[in-house]
Structures are given as structure tokens and as C-alpha cells.
Amino acid sequence: MNQIKPTDRVVEARRQSLEEFLTRCCARPWLRNSPVMAAFLATQENTYETAKKEFASKSMETMLEEFDRAVYDREVPEFQPGAQRSGSGSVEGGVEQDQQQEEGNSSKENEKPAEEEVNGENQEGAAIRPAETSGTQIDVKPLLTTAKTYLGDHKSALKKLLTQLSTSAESFNKATSALGQCHYKLQDINTIATQGAGHALCVAANEKDIVRVNLADAFYEQKNILSAPAQAFHLELLASVIQREVTDCSAMMESLDKVVELGELRDKLNDKIRQKKGGSSRKGMSSMLKHPVKSVEGTFKTTTSSSAGGSASESVQKLCDQRDLVEAYYWRSGYNAAMIEMKNFMQSKTTVYNEVAKEFVNRTTETHKQLAELWGKVDFGGVAGSPSAAE
């Protein structure tokens, strides 16, 4: 017996995923007729891995240029490098503060001026903080955190709702099947009273049959109404739109995680720059405080090595340039994700849900109207105990 190879399973899983993706895309006219879909369908399968490798080898400058072209029609402001260092703070400012702390620790006489200088810088930072967080230089880090919190809470609530809808749909299907059994049992009761032993007893007593209200036909018609695809309660319809939204929330959270990774990369570059400049990283004290120079010879060697390191300054400059590119990419993509993409995401999902909810209410209302008309047609004439029979 031939066994399925692991590679065949992977290919089949990819094929099914691609088929589901294309089905969902083709169900939306604006995607089905878009140039993006046309380009996707025209792409050969063997070029996927090549495209993936090409993307991985792109420089930060190229990625930033492509991002600018992608959002050219959106109101994404330009990033101002000197105005804000969100999350990690300014590298140069951090080095200056470390040097001031070192000077304060080296001499008690300079302790008070150093404190005044640091306090002055803190006051200046507090004075410019409103300007940094206003206009185009808002801090995107808390916005990204808020967006991820919203998506996480929203996704959790959607999954709980999906579970309840699935349970309700399953119970509803069982109830619909049970309604058919009610029809048959009610019919059996009427048959016994009009044709079976009950009828025989009435004939022996020279009496008419004791007839009950015939609910069998109404139950049967109700079963047909509720099981009709076009007029049922459509719990599956609500469940389907919720399931798609859960999937889209997961995809949106993954996109935000990629933006957050850029911020983490920016912070790592800032730490490297601090270490190259002899300052402190965010996780520890300065290198000078960790390894104090205790002799003139050590001071001379340190000064000589620092002055002779021309290549080191070039390395720092390259790190700064790379940091600036990553920071610009992080800020603009974070602004686009938190201020534009999230708003569009919430609006589009709400619009789709509202349309489905409206259709759900309309169909359910129509179903209840048909049920009311059905039960209103039940005949009480000639039935024992009914007003017409008493008269």
C-alpha cells in the first residue's frame, strides 16, 4: 500500500489554503477585478520562493521607498528624526546624561551644579513633550499597544460569541428535527381518538367522536418553514461572518507585530550606538562606571585608543544612519497601522457585520410572520371545549 509522503501532505495543505484564499477573494468584486489579483494569478508558482528571498534581501532604504509608494494616497506625515525618540529616547541625550552622572560621582564639589544641569534638561524635556506628542510627532508605541489590546479583546469576544452561535445552531437543528416527531405523535393521538379504540368507545355510547384540536399539520408546516434555507433563523450566517472576522483579527495582529519588531530593532540599534560612544545601554550602567580608570597610564591608553579609532566613528555613523532609517520606517508604518489601517479595519468589519445583521433581522422577522399566520389558521370549529362547540 502506498503511503502519502510528508511533502505531499504539505503540498496538499498549501493547495487547500490557496483554494480557500482565492475563493474568499473572488467573492469580493473589488478584489476579483483588481490589478493586484490579476498580477497574483499571472505569477508562476515556482517564483514564490524567489520573491520571498528577494524580499528578505532588500535593504531598509528600498523597503522604505516601497512603503512610501504604497501609501502615497494616504495622509501619512513625514517623520522628523530630531523631534522624537519614542520608546528609547535620544541617544545623544542619554550619553550626555550618563557623562553628567559620572562627573557628579567623581567630584562632590560638582554635585550641585550637575543636579541643576540635569534638572534643567528635565524641565526642557517636560516643556517640549507636548510639542513632541502633537501634530505629526505623536508617539506610535502606545497607539500600537492600544490597537493590539483592542484586537485581542475583540477577537476573544468574537470567539466566545462564535461558540454560543454554534451551540445555538446545533440545538436549533435538533429542535427542528424534534418538531417533525411532534407532528407524527400528534397525528397518532388524533388517529386513536377518531379511528381507534377511542372511536369504538364513542360508537358504543352512541356519541360523536371526542376530537382534539389538530396541531399536527401546524407543527409539520412549522418544521418546513424553519428548515427552509431562505427563511430559517440563519444562525450559520452570523457564525460565518464572525468566523471570517476572527481570522482577519489574527492577520491584523500579525501585521502589528511586524511593526512592533521594527521598534525593537530601533531600540537595539540605539543600545549599540550608546555602547559605541561609551555611554550606557538601557539595561545597565555606563562602561566607565563598570570599569573605572585608576591610573594615568590607563587614562592615556584609553584616550589614545579612542582618538585612534577613526573606523569606530565611521561605524557609529553607519549605526546612526541605519537607526534613522529604521526609526522612520517604524514611525510611518506604525502611524499608518494605528491611525489609518485600524480605523479602516474597524469600519469595514462593522459595515459587513451590520449588513449581515440587517439581513438576519429581516429574515427572522419574515419567519415569525409566517409562523404567526400558520398558527392563526388552526381550526377550532367543532372541537370539544371550544366556544363554537359550546354554542
In a domain, 295, yes or no: no
Residue 255 belongs to what domain range?
139-180+215-277+314-377
**Buried residues in 70-86 as b, exposed as e (16+ CB within 10 A):** ebeeeebeebeeeebbb
Per-residue pLDDT of the chain (391 residues; tens, 9 = 90+): 455 555 666 677 777 777 777 777 777 666 666 666 666 666 655 555 565 566 556 666 676 677 667 666 667 767 766 555 544 444 444 444 444 444 444 444 444 444 444 444 444 443 333 333 434 478 889 999 999 999 999 999 999 998 988 888 788 778 777 887 888 888 888 888 888 888 788 888 888 877 788 888 888 888 777 765 444 457 777 888 888 899 889 888 988 888 898 888 888 988 988 888 875 555 544 443 444 433 333 433 444 444 445 576 778 888 888 888 888 888 888 888 888 889 989 999 999 899 888 888 888 888 888 888 888 888 776 665 554 444 4
Task: Say whether both 146 and 52 belong to one domain.
Answer: no
Which domain-ending residue is among 22, 38, 63? 63
Distance CA 70, CA 332 (A): 12
In a domain, 99, yes or no: no
Residues 361/366/372/377 CA torsion (nearest 10 deg):
-170
In a domain, 51, yes or no: yes
Number of domains into which the chain is organized: 2
pTM above the 0.85 mark?
A: no
In a domain, 335, yes or no: yes
Task: Say whether both 172 and 318 belong to one domain.
Answer: yes
Q: What angle do CA 294, 299, 301 make, to 5 degrees?
A: 125
Task: Say whether both 35 and 171 belong to one domain.
Answer: no
Task: Say whether both 25 and 152 belong to one domain.
Answer: no
Task: Say whether both 156 and 249 belong to one domain.
Answer: yes
In a domain, 185, yes or no: no
State the CB neighbour count (10 A cutoff) for residue 145.
Answer: 13
- For residue 145, the domain's CATH number is 1.20.1270
Which domain-ending residue is among 63, 89, 116? 63
